[in-house]
Chain A
Amino acid sequence: MNLKYLIGWSSALCLSAIVAQAQETNEVDKLDQRLKQIQESFEKQQREMRENFERLLREQQAQIESLKKELANIPTNAVAAPTNAAPAAAVTTEQLKELNTKVDGVVEAQKQVRPNAFNPSIGLVGETVFSYRSKGADETGSSRPGGFDVYQRSVELNVAASVDPFAKAYAVINASADAQTGEATLGVEEAALQTTSLPWNLELKAGRFFAEFGKLSYIHDHELPFVNRPLALDQYIGGESRTDGAQLNWLLPTPHYVSLTTGFGVGFGGDSPLNNPGSYRSLSGFNYYGRLSTYFDLTPNIQLETGISGLINPSTQDRGGVLVQPDGSTLTEKERRVAGLDLKLSYVPLRNNQFQRLDWGTEVLYSDSRYLFNPSGSLDPANPTHTAGWPAPSPDDYDGNVGSVGLYSYATYKWHRQWSAGFLFDYMQSAENHNDVTVAYSPYITWALSHWNQIRLQYTHTDHNAASGLHPDDAIYLQWAWIIGAHSHGWQAR
């Protein structure tokens, strides 16, 4: 039995080897043939070139001989020529002088524009949000006052250029109005280097950037399909997924689109507080994240894109300091974990996609952070510094996880190049207490006067349950966003 087994496998292996060798020999023969063909073609071309050159030489020689003969006859006519030649020469000199002046002018003009030749492309985005909220900030938990408000949310400078044949770089510098003082708070939202020529379908990004997590986390505010970022993203990510780190993207070498991104960074979330590393940060103090996404053409006009994302920060080191709960207890965060599933279904009729489109986007997130709970509320929120021996644990403190679910779902229908309308539904359990639930409903309508100028009107009704200590409120937003200068159609904006 064993011998049969051995003979059988040996035969199969030998056959494979023979066939493989035959295949290899076949390939070598073909390559050899091709090389011979190329060589023959090259030699033929060389011969033809030589023959053409010799023929050309002969023709030119004949022309020279002919011209020489004509020249020999010229002296008998040359005496009369000068009387006609002088005025023609004067005209030619004048014209030549004028031409030289023009050429000099063009050369000078070219010299003048050269200093700008390597400037990056520059664009500026402005975004103003006019609003009315029926309740004050103390009742809504908003960072902006209730009642009437005008918020210059973005004055965003975008610059981008190639660094060299291997990379490009870009920066997004944003100024927004401080809620208390009204003064412009300037910040670098993104400043990163991105490779352009790595092998194996890889792309590396490093610096400060919006990490690829989910579908809307890495979209700038003015590019969102609605006025405000979904509650779940604000709560679990901390606004935009900004991080200082590095990210590697791999386009899988398959006929079907599959993209894998992974990265790490210090901090995750533009509005999210940083960890408290103290004097030494270990690897567990980083945020590690990834996203796997794919896409389907369900029909030529219907597209589906979906992805799963994950984020873990093994040691958040009391990120955000002491977090005071509505019931007076306090807690500090020890570990952060977020998982997400995103889906976007789009109807984009090829024939008139500039004038008609329907998008349905949904993202479900699960936050599973670990906290040190301090039910007695004995931790001092005024002293958030993590120093040795602080916070002093009390006997009833305990370690535990809070699993919270958040989601948003929106649909936007565009029926005209300038007009679209939609509805956004928000559901969010607080990451610190999943019994604290907020729900919001937001219809909106957008008027895009042009590609660079749009106005959006949105109504939002927000409901909180009793656990939050907040109150329901109604808000109206009028957002006006504009762009000047260079503005590229980025991959995320598809």
Chain B
Amino acid sequence: MKSTLFRLLSVATIGAAALIASPAQAAKIRVVTTLTDLADFSREVGGEHVEVFSLATGVEDTHGVPMKPSFVPVMNRADLMVSVGFGCEHAFLPALLEASKNPRIQYGKPGYVDCSPGIAPLAVPKSTDHSEGDVHPYGNPHYMLDPVLAKTAIQHIYEALVAIAPQYQADFTRNRDAYLAKLDAKIAQWQAEAKGLKGVKFISYHEEWEYFAERFGMKVFDTIELKPGIDPTPRHIEQLITGMKAEHVPIVVREPQFPEKVPALIARQTGATLLKLPIMPGGVPHTDTYIEMMDFIVHTMVSAEAKRG
């Protein structure tokens, strides 16, 4: 009995020693992003040196990502916390940051990456009164749907990665430049494809498309929401339909996180085409990367307009 025990303990000790002896893997930079587009950029720029986790999966409302306690240990160990900024994540990020107890990634710390500096925001409200709904005090935060402005986010992520791991700067630079070259080529392609969208009006459920419209020359006629975060009243729906008919607005955009009933009703009543468009990668099938998502959005808009013509 004693000899058996001795043998077992020896094997266990040697086994443990062997495990300790195995060469330690180089620690990857742990990046947590709020949304999936930022996660895609982080993977592209960080390459093999990063381990990326996105709080959103792609199907959520960007203002309504659930505050899951399972996010807390992930954020607790994060080296970088990447956010869109402009108050986009105000409904879930502040509480999660506090619960994470990670001093490295709190607001203002080097590990907190706000991707909005350098972007001139659209629709900065004159008043932050709630009579205007759930307004964003710093302006519309949905700039990531403009691929040119999205490059600012790539640069912020790059700078944060270089600051935290300067030994990999050459790799980050190469990755960033390669991805930017790919993205620039796609931007040129999208702008060429989307020439027919200039001046085309559309409505969307939430005010998510202002930057996209400005980039591709489209016009946001109105939103289905009465005000940001406030569901439409029957009167507002009626006014929308009347206005769309008068102005010949041909497209209704429904983001996947909003119900279909009212957008479908408006589309039927006005003869407009109802489009379901994602607002971040993963929002609809086969849009797992930012480029795939923008491909889908541009192609869908262009096809809808082409059919109308």
B67 & A494 in contact (Cβ 8 Å cutoff) = yes
Q: Which of A34, A251, A490 contacts B101 (CB 8 A)?
A: A251
Q: Is the CB of B60 within 8 A of A489?
A: no
Bound: A12/B15 CA distance, A: 10
Q: Which one, B64, B67, B101, B258, contacts A202 given CB within 8 A?
A: B101
State the CA gap A3–B56 with chains docked (Å): 61
Which of B76, B106, B256 is A351 in contact with, Cβ under 8 Å?
A: B256
Chain B residues closer than 8 Å to A255, beta-carbon distance: 73
Q: Is the CB of A254 within 8 A of B57?
A: no
Indicate if A76 sits at the interface (CB-CB under 8 A).
no
Question: Known: A351-B60, A491-B98. Is A196-B106 also a contact (CB below 8 A)?
Answer: yes
Q: Do the beta carbons of B229 and A26 come within 8 Å of each other?
A: no
* Bound-state Cα–Cα, A348 to B68, Å: 10
Q: Whole-angstrom distance between the alpha carbons of A386 and B264 in the complex?
A: 72
Q: Are B257 and A256 in contact, with the CB atoms below 8 A?
A: no
By the criterion of a CB under 8 Å from any partner CB, how many residues of chain A are at the interface?
59
What's the Cα separation between A38 and B167 when bound, in Å?
Answer: 7
Which of chain B's residues has its CB closest to A297's CB? B70
Name the A residues within 8 Å of B94 (CB-CB).
Answer: 488-489
Complex CA–CA separation, A351 to B64 (angstroms): 10
Partner-binding segment picked from B18-26, B40-48, B140-148, B183-191: B18-26
- B231–A417 CB distance below 8 A: yes
On whether A352 and B257 interact (CB within 8 A), knowing A1-B2, A8-B10, A196-B106, the answer reads yes
Q: Is B6 within 8 A of A8, CB to CB?
A: yes
Given A41-B167, A202-B101, A350-B59, the answer on whether A19 and B21 have CB atoms closer than 8 Å is: yes
CA distance A8 to B95 in the complex (A): 54
Residue on A with the closest CB to B10? A12
For residue A256, which residues in chain B have a CB less than 8 angstroms away from its CB?
A: 70, 73
* Contact yes or no, A5 B2, CB < 8 A: yes
Q: Is the CB of B130 within 8 A of A23?
A: no
Chain A, Cβ-Cβ closest to B102: A201
Contact A203 B257 (CB under 8 A): no
In the assembled complex, which residues on chain B have CB atoms less than 8 Å from the CB atom of A254?
Answer: 73
Is B177 at the interface (CB under 8 A from chain A)? no
Q: Are A251 and B95 in contact (CB under 8 A)?
A: no
What residue in chain B is nearest A198 (Cβ atoms)? B101
Q: Whole-angstrom distance between the alpha carbons of A354 and B60 in the complex?
A: 9
Q: Does A221 contact B (CB under 8 A)?
A: no
- Distance of A205 from chain B, by nearest CB (Å): 12
A355 partner residues in chain B, CB cutoff 8 A = 258-259
Cα separation A9 to B14 with both chains bound (whole Å): 10
Contact partners of A5 in chain B: CB under 8 A: 2, 6
Instruction: Give bound CA distance, A490 to B2, whole Å.
Output: 58
Interface string of B253-270 (1 = CB under 8 A from A): 000111100000000000
Task: Check B103 for interface membership: any CB of A closer than 8 A.
Answer: yes
Does A148 reach chain B (CB closer than 8 Å)? no
Q: Pick the contact of A353 from B64, B76, B95 — CB < 8 Å?
A: B64
Main secondary structure of the interface of A (DSSP, over half): mixed
Q: Is A484 an interface residue (CB 8 A)?
A: yes
Find residues 165-198 in chain A having any chain B CB closer than 8 Å to their own CB: 196-198
B230 at interface, CB cutoff 8 A: yes
Q: Is the CB of B14 within 8 A of A15?
A: yes
- B133 vs chain A, min Cβ distance (A): 7
Residue B296 is within 8 A (CB to CB) of chain A in the complex: no
Interface-centre pick from A8, A34, A254 (highest chain B CB count, 10 A): A8
Across the interface, B67 reaches (CB within 8 A) one of A11, A20, A489, namely A489
Q: Do A19 and B60 touch across chains, with their CB atoms under 8 A apart?
A: no
List B230-261 residues whose CB lies under 8 Å from chain A. Answer: 230-231, 256-259
Asked whether, in the complex, the Cβ of A353 is within 8 Å of the Cβ of B69, the reply is no
Bound-state CA distance A27–B27 (Å) is 13
Closest CB in chain A relative to B159 CB, distance in Å: 16
Chain B residue nearest to A255 in the complex (CB): B73
Q: Which residues of A contact B229 (CB under 8 A)?
A: 450-451
Please give me the residue from chain A that is nearest to B60 by CB atom.
A350
Cβ of B178 under 8 Å from chain A: no
User: B79-106, CB under 8 A of A: which get 1 and which 0?
Assistant: 0000000000011101110111101001
A1–B166 Cα distance when bound, in Å, is 58
A23 and B21 contacting across the interface, CB-CB below 8 Å: yes
Contact residues in A for B23 (Cβ distance below 8 Å): 26
- The interface of chain B, by Cβ under 8 A from chain A, is 2-3, 6, 9-10, 13-14, 16-18, 20-21, 23-24, 57, 59-61, 64, 66-70, 72-73, 76, 90-92, 94-96, 98-101, 103, 106, 130, 133-134, 166-167, 229-231, 256-259
Q: Known A-B contacts: A198-B101, A491-B98. Give 15 more (CB < 8 A).
A: A1-B2, A12-B14, A16-B20, A26-B23, A196-B103, A255-B73, A295-B68, A351-B59, A351-B60, A354-B61, A417-B231, A418-B231, A489-B91, A489-B95, A491-B67
What are the 3 A-B residue pairs with the smallest beta carbon separation, nearest first?
A: A295-B69, A494-B67, A351-B59
A-B contact pairs, 11 of them (CB 8 A): A12-B9, A12-B10, A16-B20, A251-B72, A251-B100, A251-B101, A257-B73, A296-B70, A355-B258, A450-B134, A489-B95
